[in-house]
Structure 1
Amino acid sequence: MNKTNYFTKLKENTINNSFSVPVKVSGYEELNLIASNLLKASIFMLKNDGECLSNSSDIDVISLLELALQLLPEDEMELLDELNKLHL
């Protein structure tokens, strides 16, 4: 059995004892749409207190919010602020 064919999805980060998962997107616009949709779905579920969901569905809204937070391009936002200052 060749070990390199298995366990390829998670990329280990030994510095903070965690893993990362690569997500393929076509660009920043799609990345923004994914994060926005995760946030909108979470807001919808929290506002409706899960009424539209069956009792058997276990959706962890906190994990959706945490994922959306990780997808936000923080460094790029700083660059946009700098570009905005230059434009003004």
Structure 2
Amino acid sequence: MIATLLATDIIGHPPATNLYQLDEPLEGFGYIAVTAFEPFNQSLVVGVTETGGVEAETVEALWHSPNSYVPHTEVLAAIGYEPPA
């Protein structure tokens, strides 16, 4: 499965949040926002339903690494997706 990078540093999200389009949905979501920010010492995957703006009712945490920073490529691998080339 492949995740295609659509945007970096999404406004309204923590720093280092990237938006990816998935070739196969993850728990019903075709898009995910991945936050992997070393100073926060955590990484998070959020499912989003559309590419434009993320509204509270469309957000669902799909994967979380509390108290440990995991780079974007490793986060994508952890949820079964290849990082973008």
> Do they superpose with TM above 0.5?
no
In our comparison, the structure showing a higher alpha carbon Rg is: 1
Q: Which protein is richer in helix relative to its size?
A: 1
By percentage of residues, which structure has more strand? 2
TM-score where L is the length of structure 1: 0.25
TM-score normalised over the length of structure 2:
0.25
